[in-house]
Chain A
Amino acid sequence: MRKLWWRHAALIVISIIMLAPFYWLLKTAITSENIYEYPPHLLPVRPQLFNFVDVWYLIPFPRYLFNSIVVSLIAVAGNLVLNAMAGFALTLPFVGRRSVIVLLLSCTLIPFQATIIPAYLITAHLGLLDSYLGLALPLLSTIVCIFIFKASFDAVPRSLIDAARIDGLGEMRILLRVMLPLSTPAIATNIVLSFIWSWNNFLWPLIITRSQDMQTLPLGLARFLSYMEDTTGALYAFVVMVLAPGLLVFLMAQSAFMRGLTTGATKG
């Protein structure tokens, strides 16, 4: 009994430390005090939400938001389709399967950051600089997610697949009718991971966007910071508005997401 109490105390302290930056962010975003006042107030002074209105109108927030949503949607759709297909193909026996798997695994060791210069040059050759497709292209398929799908498909009982095959279903139909309905955690993990990765991506858009019209939210944030410094609560309202969609998607899908991530992580 005493042991349990001790565990809760430790975890509560950890939770407070983990949540403190969130609190400080929210507090600064809704406060109307001079944020440089010392000592800072622990509770917001005259809380108000007008900082959010300022962000909406005084910077091209709607434009950034639209760009981010378009890129993320392309990336999520691409990930679902391509990863499910590739993951399914890897569960089937074929010549060279092992080498494909080894190839994919060694690709995970190539950090995206190590490829930026040629990737930029390739995208320039394709004529996709400063376009939605160019922004989403490198994110259209992710190896980790392919293995999450593969792990989930491997867990589908063989007898089900054989029965479907005897019924004369083609591979495409087996994937759509048998495999995917049984793999909701993997689908959730795929959606959440690909959404978060494309939503949060900074370095790639930084390199390949030229015009302000194509900038995504993280670029907008960095740009706002560079010309306003951190002198206004509006910056933090901006941060809250940028974080909210990602957190919302994560919290909605979190139980399935955690399940999918843990099975995928230990198997892949």
Chain B
Amino acid sequence: MRWRRILLSRFFIVPAVLLLGTGAWNVYVDLHAHGLLEGSVIDAAGKPVAGATVILSVHDFVTQVEKARTRTDAAGRFRFDDNPSHLIQLQAQDGTEASPRVTIRLWFRGQDRVVTEPLRLAPNA
């Protein structure tokens, strides 16, 4: 009887819910933090660009460091599998053309994410 009262009091329920929530979140993070990042590159006309270079740089409050680069495949798609951060910028380059820098914010480090909006190349200004 006394135990039931303790178990039902808010002093037990609130911390318990918080702990459960934290646990569930951590499990979710563990299962989804492979650092996978996928997307595609198109040209000004909207056609996929093969062989474009995509640069991934990692952001901080003050600095921005290039961490990895990759090339798009024949379908214009690219894929990083070692994104270490939660706050990154992507930019595609191909010859004289480059896309604007796109900032991507993730909920945790290395969250797997498919970037739906393609990087659009434009003549370098």
**Interface set of A (CB-CB < 8 Å, partner B):** 48, 50, 53-54, 57-58, 228, 232, 234, 248, 252-253
Number of A-B pairs whose CB atoms are under 8 Å? 27
Chain A residues with Cβ below 8 Å from B11 are: 252-253
Chain A residues with Cβ below 8 Å from B86 are: 53-54, 57
Binds A, one of B46-54, B93-101, B103-111: B103-111
Check if A248 sits within 8 Å of B109, measured CB to CB. Answer: no
Closest beta carbon of chain A to B1's beta carbon, Å: 14
Closest beta carbon of chain A to B17's beta carbon, Å: 11
Q: State the CA gap A132–B66 with chains docked (Å).
A: 39
Chain B residues with Cβ below 8 Å from A50 are: 87, 105
Q: What count of chain B residues pass the 8 Å CB interface test?
A: 13
The chain B residue with its CB closest to the CB of A50 is: B105
Please give me the 3 A-B residue pairs with the lowest Cβ-Cβ distance, nearest first. A50-B105, A252-B10, A53-B86
Q: State the CA gap A57–B107 with chains docked (Å).
A: 11
Chain B residues with Cβ below 8 Å from A58 are: 60-61, 87
Starting from the known contacts A53-B86, A53-B105, A54-B86, 13 additional A-B residue pairs (CB-CB under 8 Å) come to A50-B87, A53-B106, A53-B108, A54-B61, A54-B87, A57-B85, A57-B86, A57-B87, A58-B60, A58-B61, A228-B61, A248-B14, A252-B14
The chain A residue with its CB closest to the CB of B14 is: A252
Chain B residues with Cβ below 8 Å from A232 are: 61
Chain B residues with Cβ below 8 Å from A53 are: 86-87, 105-108
Q: State the CA gap A54–B11 with chains docked (Å).
A: 30
Q: State the CA gap A53–B11 with chains docked (Å).
A: 28
The chain A residue with its CB closest to the CB of B106 is: A53
The chain A residue with its CB closest to the CB of B108 is: A53
Chain B residues with Cβ below 8 Å from A228 are: 61
Chain B residues with Cβ below 8 Å from A48 are: 105
Closest beta carbon of chain A to B103's beta carbon, Å: 10
Residue of A48, A50, A232, A253 with most chain B CB atoms under a 10 A cut-off: A50
Chain B residues with Cβ below 8 Å from A234 are: 61
Closest beta carbon of chain A to B104's beta carbon, Å: 10
Chain A residues with Cβ below 8 Å from B107 are: 53
The chain B residue with its CB closest to the CB of A235 is: B61
* B67-110 Cβ-contact flags toward A at 8 Å (1 or 0): 00000000000000000011100000000000000000111110
Chain B residues with Cβ below 8 Å from A252 are: 10-11, 14
Check if B105 sits within 8 Å of A57, measured CB to CB. Answer: no
